[in-house]
Structures are given as structure tokens and as C-alpha cells.
């Protein structure tokens, strides 16, 4: 039994290099393992820490060591402790920050099991009820009820605890506490429905490959490359069933729970209580219970967004990544992990199958994963026809052809989706007199008008202020509103088309702020006979609506204008995914794409539904430029309040970085964000491990007061 615990205290400080040794008192030695949680003295603080190693002795000598203060219930499975160690180095983060990703949800808050008191009649109690024991009428009624109903929760008995305790003291009843599961509302407990579909030939082939890989117990990774509506979910479901049959666990990653309730409910319907759902919108109690059900092996499938990749599932056999192109898989706080990359690593370690699916996969997945193809829609339907609408000569936001198509939809009582990837009323506000543009005081960006709230708001930092009545520079009351956002589009389309039999729905981040709102809007649109769903990219996620015959994309170039090497593939995916919502179920679909750049590759290929063609060209471009998967990217951003500090720090970092196998670009200034100046370095490397190690070393020592550094490996 080990006398020394090596502990990583959970602190956010970057400069500490743990783990630290603690002496275990005799009585703890048998129970403390790797993954155990301890409260340890650390300097003058007491911190929660995770045991990451055990040893017989310490280099410091046992007499100089401190002992843990206490143990904490719950622990982290050993494989997740190791996964956290890998994440810390893979993403240039710290062990403490990485470990906080894998902690049981209750560990920090002291949130415990919810229990209830249950009363059961004892043999003595039954005898007392039959014989002549002295009982008050009330006690007699109570015992009779237990005799008839079996164990009953104390809260349902309508007597005070004193009465129960007295009966317990006389040995007439037994009281026990049992834990109660706080089931998330969308988990319908117990329901299991068998698959009634007949798989298409290509679905069958894909399922057979997945089964073989799971049976082989060797790591494998496949890309399920299926057009929109080809029935990828059914393949995931059957692969999951196969993993369960081999007594192995399953993780299913979905982009965002609020936007993908259909996938979640199909898993729950098929597998019932075996499914646990983990996501940030659960209450703390629900999350605790779901996590424990997985930890104890009562649930063997975990469905959730990116953080579900850390689900405590033993003997993992399958990880599904649905809509693998979705950018929500990348975490935007330190550690800036990519759940797809973590999933690949975890599957590798566990000898599990990684099954990533998409109609518009990332070029890196297309190039590196073994492909299983589903070339046609499962219902036999055709993909919609896509028309490119040239806006160069158009006036106003809607081209005549688009307006006509919407009018026709209104007359025929059909359903449509209009995508405009910009929320708010208008993009920015300016003074007609002096030209002033209202900008964010904290960031170098314009404020966006939100009419319903009478506010102008920054979409980067959340700053908001009241809509000005006049210009504070020149006093003019003539203010101009530029551009079009979803809020105003909804207003205008409602005026033009709306009616009792033709409802309009809006879905964007402003609507979806409340829990469950996004799902509710999607459900209402799904159930409506006719109408239009207006929104940002949220409307183009994997929804399976029946009977949408018209899709419209306004300003398809908006995403193309981003100065980012992924701008084209994002635009392609957005258009192809929107087209994918159209023409399902009955009839043909039609999609109109309004653009100023009708010959851009992303738009031309999307109009032809040619993912493979687009990706092939995209990979050639990436190879020429040394971008992933032909090179590794690491982005370092320095930020500081004081002007010039961020740039100086980035220059200093550049001096420190000596990597033979990499090219370092920058420093380049970035726009000011949240009151901080920023500068960036971009590293293009051929040797990932060497570059990550060099960056880790370079950022380990401080770069001056007030300078913050963030490292992003595989930036998005
Ligand atoms: P994808 O995720 O590939 O876009 P889905 O999994 O949402 O597609 O499936 C699209 C629709 O086709 C769903 O309504 C699903 O129930 C149905 N479906 C899937 N497989 C079959 C099949 N073999 N036969 C008939 N319908 C199917
Ligand atoms: Zn002015
Ligand atoms: Zn701002």
C-alpha cells in the first residue's frame, strides 16, 4: 500500500509544476487510488486535488510532507486521469485545468445524492397489526397501508417523522434511505422501441463494417459520408446496439443538445434507460445523477455535446461524432481542446471504433478516415435543385425571384426556411450628418441594433446601450441603419407574407437564450402545416423536417468574407446543410442562393451537391499552403490592456520560439477585444509534438505584467 499520494491541486495558476507529494495517513492508504479526490493544504490555501500517482516514498522524505485534510466522495476513473494528462500537454494547458474537465460534476459544489426516506413493514409490525399490540388508530392505519402497499416513501405517508421514528424504535417498521434519480425531462424513462426500418443496401454495408470493427476490438476510425437525409442516425443506432451486445459502452457526440433534440430522443427511444444525457443545461442534481449512472455502469450510452467525450464509461466500444464538421466541437476556453481529436485519441486508447458522420465532412476527415458512403436519401427522395441568384444588379435585400418564390409558397401553403447568418435588426448605425458610427467601447467593432430591446449591442463582448436619439458628436437626429439582420427580416416577411394560416418563426441566438426555447421553435415549425422558419446557421443544423419545399439563403457571401482559411468550407457546409433540410418527405425541393459571388467554388459546388468534388479541390489548396492535414497549426494570442504591450509580448515570444520544423508567421495585430489590445503569432509546423513542446516551454515563463497568453492548437 502506497504511503505517498502525488496530487495535482486544482488551481488556475499556470506557473505551478505539479504533481505534489502528500503523506497518506495509515487509515487512508487502502482506499486512496489514482483518481481519488483529496482536500490538500497548499501554501496557505486548502484546495481540492486529484491523485495522479502513488509512490512508496518521496524524494522530499516523508517527514517533510504534509497530509491531506480530508477525502471527498466520488472519484475520477483512471483512464480519464490519463486522458486529462494527455490533454494538458496536447493543448499546452495545465494538468489542473485539464483535470477539471473530467471531474465528477458534484466534486466542486459538494452536491450529493438526492435521497428519500422509505418505510417498510417488519415481521414484528405485521404481527402487531394482526395481534393485540397497543397502537393508536393513526399508527394502525399506517401499518395497514404498508402491509398492503409494500415499501412507501415517507413523504407519501402524511405523518410526521417523529411518528415514523417511534415505530422504528419499537421494531414495527424499518426506515431506509434510497437514492432518487433526477431524470432530465427529455429522458423518457423505460421506453424501448425496436427498429422497424429496413436498412438500405448502403446502410447495411456501413453497419456491417462498424460491427466488424467493434467485434475486432482494435481501434478503427470511419467517416460515415452520407448525403443529407441518407439515414446516418440509423447506422449510429445499429452500431451502438452492436457495441452493447459486446458489453461495451458508447459515447454519442452531437453539436448542441438544444438544436439536435431529435437525435437524442431517437437514442432514448431505442435504448431507454441505458442512455444518459450529459449537457450544460441540466441542473446540477440531474448532471450528478446522470454521471453517477454512467460511472456505476447502470447507463452504458452517453449522448451529449463536446464535453460528453469525457463521460465516465468503462470498456468503451464506440464513439459517434454526429455532424463532425460542426464548429461547436472546439472548446473556446483553456484547454482549447477539440472534442473530435480527443474522441479519436480516446477511441485509440480504448480499442474502440470512432464513427464520424457528415454530409459535409472536414477536409482532414475526408483525407484521413476510411470512408463509408451513403450516396442517396433514405426515403428515396431527390436532393433539391439549387439556383444561384446573382445579386449584383438587385436592389433591396430580396431578389425578385426570391420574393416570387416566397409568394408562391404562401399561396400554395407550403413550408420554407430562410437563412440569414446575421442576427439583430441592422448591422450598424451611423450619423447622416457627420458619419459617426456607433462602436463598442471595449472592442473595435460596430454595435448592432436590436430593435425589440431598444438597444445597440456588441456581439463580441455583450456590451449594450440604449439606442441613441441623436448623435452625441454633432447633435443631428438623422441616424441611418445599415444592413439587414434576422430580426428585421422577420418583421418584413411577416408584413409581406404572415397570416394565421402562414406563421413565421425565428431562430437565432437572441431567441435561443432561454432553456428549451430553440427546441420549442423547431418543434412548432415541424408541426406547422405551412409557414417559414427564419434564422441564422441554427436553422441549417441536422433537423429532419418533413415537407419543406423551399430553402433560401440571403447574402451567402457573408461567411466567405471572413479572413480565415476555413471560410470556403464553412460556406460550402452551410449551403449544403440548408439544402439538406429541403425536400425531405414528400415532393421536390428548391433552394435559392442569393450571392454577389456566384462563381465562388464553395457556392458552385454546393449548388451541384458535390461534396467530394469540393473537398478534393480544398485538399489540393491545403496541401499547397501547408494547412491541416498537411501541416499543424498553432495560434498564440497575446493580449494586454496597455497599448503596445501585447505586440511587445508577441515579439518577445517570437524570439523565444526556435523550432526547426516550423514556420512562424507574425506577430500580427488583431482587433481590440474586451478592452484589450491583441497580437497573434501563427505557427505552421510539420512536427506536431515538437511544436507543441516548444510553445509550451515558451509560454511557461511570464511575458510582463498584465499580459495574458492563450495558446490554440488546431485553431478553428
Ligand atoms: P441524416 O442524418 O443522414 O441526414 P437521418 O438519420 O435524419 O438522416 O434520416 C433521415 C430520415 O430517413 C429519417 O426520418 C429516418 O427515420 C429515415 N430513415 C432512415 N433510414 C431509413 C430506411 N432504411 N428506410 C426508410 N427511412 C429511413
Ligand atoms: Zn453626427
Ligand atoms: Zn465589445
Quote the pLDDT of residue 427: 87
Could you tell me whether strands 220-226 and 370-374 are parallel, antiparallel, or unpaired per DSSP bridges? Answer: parallel
Report the pLDDT averaged over residues 708-716. 92
User: Mean pLDDT over all residues of the chain?
Assistant: 90
Residue 230 CA: which ligand 1 atom is closest? 3
Quote the pLDDT of residue 138: 82
Report the pLDDT averaged over residues 56-61. 80
Distances, alpha carbon 12 to alpha carbons 76, 176, 330, 552, 603, in Å: 19, 41, 21, 46, 44
Quote the pLDDT of residue 193: 47
Query: Residue 630 pLDDT > 50, yes or no?
Result: yes
Report the pLDDT averaged over residues 165-186. 73
Residue 550 CA to ligand 1 center (angstroms) comes to 20
Question: Residue 189 — very low, low, confident or very high, per pLDDT cuts 50/70/90?
Answer: very low
Please give the Cα distance from 419 to 533 (Å, whole number). Answer: 8
Higher pLDDT, 539 or 61: 539
Task: Mark the residues whose beta carbon lies below 5 A from ion ligand 2.
Answer: 431, 433-434, 436, 471, 473-474, 476
Quote the pLDDT of residue 190: 39
Query: Residue 303 pLDDT > 90, yes or no?
Result: yes
Quote the pLDDT of residue 110: 46
Task: Mark the residues whose beta carbon lies below 5 A from ion ligand 3.
Answer: 440, 442-443, 458, 460-461, 463
Query: Residue 716 pLDDT > 80, yes or no?
Result: yes
Question: Which residue, by CA, sits nearest to atom 21 of ligand 1?
Answer: 378
Quote the pLDDT of residue 624: 93
Please give the Cα distance from 167 to 634 (Å, whole number). Answer: 68
Quote the pLDDT of residue 256: 85
With the most atoms of ligand 1 within 8 angstroms of its CB, the residue from 378, 522, 541, 543 to mutate is 378
Among candidate residues 432, 429, 435, the one with its CA nearest the CA of residue 478: 432
Higher pLDDT, 321 or 56: 321
Please give the Cα distance from 606 to 593 (Å, whole number). Answer: 10
Report the pLDDT averaged over residues 288-300. 94
Least confident range from 315-319, 629-633, 697-701, 709-713: namely 697-701
Least confident range from 90-104, 129-143, 511-525, 609-623: namely 129-143
Distances, alpha carbon 497 to alpha carbons 1, 81, 490, 527, in Å: 75, 56, 10, 19
Report the pLDDT averaged over residues 451-479. 93
Residue 478 CA to ligand 2 center (angstroms) comes to 8
Please give the Cα distance from 284 to 289 (Å, whole number). Answer: 9
Coil, strand or helix at 418:
strand
Quote the pLDDT of residue 206: 98
Quote the pLDDT of residue 133: 76
Residue 388 CA to ligand 1 center (angstroms) comes to 28
Quote the pLDDT of residue 591: 96
Least confident range from 95-104, 252-261, 662-671: namely 252-261
Residue 373 CA to ligand 1 center (angstroms) comes to 14
Which ligand lies nearest the alpha carbon of 429? 2
Quote the pLDDT of residue 599: 92
Quote the pLDDT of residue 381: 85
pLDDT tens figures, 10-46? 987 766 678 999 999 998 898 999 999 999 998 888 8
With the most atoms of ligand 1 within 8 angstroms of its CB, the residue from 234, 265, 540 to mutate is 234
pLDDT tens figures, 472-524? 999 999 999 998 999 999 999 999 998 889 999 999 999 888 777 888 999 99
Residue 467 CA to ligand 2 center (angstroms) comes to 14
Residue 198 CA: which ligand 1 atom is closest? 23
pLDDT tens figures, 587-613? 689 999 999 999 999 999 999 999 999
Query: Residue 187 pLDDT > 70, yes or no?
Result: no
Higher pLDDT, 261 or 424: 424
Report the pLDDT averaged over residues 54-64. 80
With the most atoms of ligand 1 within 8 angstroms of its CB, the residue from 229, 262, 266, 373 to mutate is 229
Label residue 442 exposed, middle or buried (CB < 10 Å: 0-12, 13-18, 19+).
middle
Amino acid at each position: 500500500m502506497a504511503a505517498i499520494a502525488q496530487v495535482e491541486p486544482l488551481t488556475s495558476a499556470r506557473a505551478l509544476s505539479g504533481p505534489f507529494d502528500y503523506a497518506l495517513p495509515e487509515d487512508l492508504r487502502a482506499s486512496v487510488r489514482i483518481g481519488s479526490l483529496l482536500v490538500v493544504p497548499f501554501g496557505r490555501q486548502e484546495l481540492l486535488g486529484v491523485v495522479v500517482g502513488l509512490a512508496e516514498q518521496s524524494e522530499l522524505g516523508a517527514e517533510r510532507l504534509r497530509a491531506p485534510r480530508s477525502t471527498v466522495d466520488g472519484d475520477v476513473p483512471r483512464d480519464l486521469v490519463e486522458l486529462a494528462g494527455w490533454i494538458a500537454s496536447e493543448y499546452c494547458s495545465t494538468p489542473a485545468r485539464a483535470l477539471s474537465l473530467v471531474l465528477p460534476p458534484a466534486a466542486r459544489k459538494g452536491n450529493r445524492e438526492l435521497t428519500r426516506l422509505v418505510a417498510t413493514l417488519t415481521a414484528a409490525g405485521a404481527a402487531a397489526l394482526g395481534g393485540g399490540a397497543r397502537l393508536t388508530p393513526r399508527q394502525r392505519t399506517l401499518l395497514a397501508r404498508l402491509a398492503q402497499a409494500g415499501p412507501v416513501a415517507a413523504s407519501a405517508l402524511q405523518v410526521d417523522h417523529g411518528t415514523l421514528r417511534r415505530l422504528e424504535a419499537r421494531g414495527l417498521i424499518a426506515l431506509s434511505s434510497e437514492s432518487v434519480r433526477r431524470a432530465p425531462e427529455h429522458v423518457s424513462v423505460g421506453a424501448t422501441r425496436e427498429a422497424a426500418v429496413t436498412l438500405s443496401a448502403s446502410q447495411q454495408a456501413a453497419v456491417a463494417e462498424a460491427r466488424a470493427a467493434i467485434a475486432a476490438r482494435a481501434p478503427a476510425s470511419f467517416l460515415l459520408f452520407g448525403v443529407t437525409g441518407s439515414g446516418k442516425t440509423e447506422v449510429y443506432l445499429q452500431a451502438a446496439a452492436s457495441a452493447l451486445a459486446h458489453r461495451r459502452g458508447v459515447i454519442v457526440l452531437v453539436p448542441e443538445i438544444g438544436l439536435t433534440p431529435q437525435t437524442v430522443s431517437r437514442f432514448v427511444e431505442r435504448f431507454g434507460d441505458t442512455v444518459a444525457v450529459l449537457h450544460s443545461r441540466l441542473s446540477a442534481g440531474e448532471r450528478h445523477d446522470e454521471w453517477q449512472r454512467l460511472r456505476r455502469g447502470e447507463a452504458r450510452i452517453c449522448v451529449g455535446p463536446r464535453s460528453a467525450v469525457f463521460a465516465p464509461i468503462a470498456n468503451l466500444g464506440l464513439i459517434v461524432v454526429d455532424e463532425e464538421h460542426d464548429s461547436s466541437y472546439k472548446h473556446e476556453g483553456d484547454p482549447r481542446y477539440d472534442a473530435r481529436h480527443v474522441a479519436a485519441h480516446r477511441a485509440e486508447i480504448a480499442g474502440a471504433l470512432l464513427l464520424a458522420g457528415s454530409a459535409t465532412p472536414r477536409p482532414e476527415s475526408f483525407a484521413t478516415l476510411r470512408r463509408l458512403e451513403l450516396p442517396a436519401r433514405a426515403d428515396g427522395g431527390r436532393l433539391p435543385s439549387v439556383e444561384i441568384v446573382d445579386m449584383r444588379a438587385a436592389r433591396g435585400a430580396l431578389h425578385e425571384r426570391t420574393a416570387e418564390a416566397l409568394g408562391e409558397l404562401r399561396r400554395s401553403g407550403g413550408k420554407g426556411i430562410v437563412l440569414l447568418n446575421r442576427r439583430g435588426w441592422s448591422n450598424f448605425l451611423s450619423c447622416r450628418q457627420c458619419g459617426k458610427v456607433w462602436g463598442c467601447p471595449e472592442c473595435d467593432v460596430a454595435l448592432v441594433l436590436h430593435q425589440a430591446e431598444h438597444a445597440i449591442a456588441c456581439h463580441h463582448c455583450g456590451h449594450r446601450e440604449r439606442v441613441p436619439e441623436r448623435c452625441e458628436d454633432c447633435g443631428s437626429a438623422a441616424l441611418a441603419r445599415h444592413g439587414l439582420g434576422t430580426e428585421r427580416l422577420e418583421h418584413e416577411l411577416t408584413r409581406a407574407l404572415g397570416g394565421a394560416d402562414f406563421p413565421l418563426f425565428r431562430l437565432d441566438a437572441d431567441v435561443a437564450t432561454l432553456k428549451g426555447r430553440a427546441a420549442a421553435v423547431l418543434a412548432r415549425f415541424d408541426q406547422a402545416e405551412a409557414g417559414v422558419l427564419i434564422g441564422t446557421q441554427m436553422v441549417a443544423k441536422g433537423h429532419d423536417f418533413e415537407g419543406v419545399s423551399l430553402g433560401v439563403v440571403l447574402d451567402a457571401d457573408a461567411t466567405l468574407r471572413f479572413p480565415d482559411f476555413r471560410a470556403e468550407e464553412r460556406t460550402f457546409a452551410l449551403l449544403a446543410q440548408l439544402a439538406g433540410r429541403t425536400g425531405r418527405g414528400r415532393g421536390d425541393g428548391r433552394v435559392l442562393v442569393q450571392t454577389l459571388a456566384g462563381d465562388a467554388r464553395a457556392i458552385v459546388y454546393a449548388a451541384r451537391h458535390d461534396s467530394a468534388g469540393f473537398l478534393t479541390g480544398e485538399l489540393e489548396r491545403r496541401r499547397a499552403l501547408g494547412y491541416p492535414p498537411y501541416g499543424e497549426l498553432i495560434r498564440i494570442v497575446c493580449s494586454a490592456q496597455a497599448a503596445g504591450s501585447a505586440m511587445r509580448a508577441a515579439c518577445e515570444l517570437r524570439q523565444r520560439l526556435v523550432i526547426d520544423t516550423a514556420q512562424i508567421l507574425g506577430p500580427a495585430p488583431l482587433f481590440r477585444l474586451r478592452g484589450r489590445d491583441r497580437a497573434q503569432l501563427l505557427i505552421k509546423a510539420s512536427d506536431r509534438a515538437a511544436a507543441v513542446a516548444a510553445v509550451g516551454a515558451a509560454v511557461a515563463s511570464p511575458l510582463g505584467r498584465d499580459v495574458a497568453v492563450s495558446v490554440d492548437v488546431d485553431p478553428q
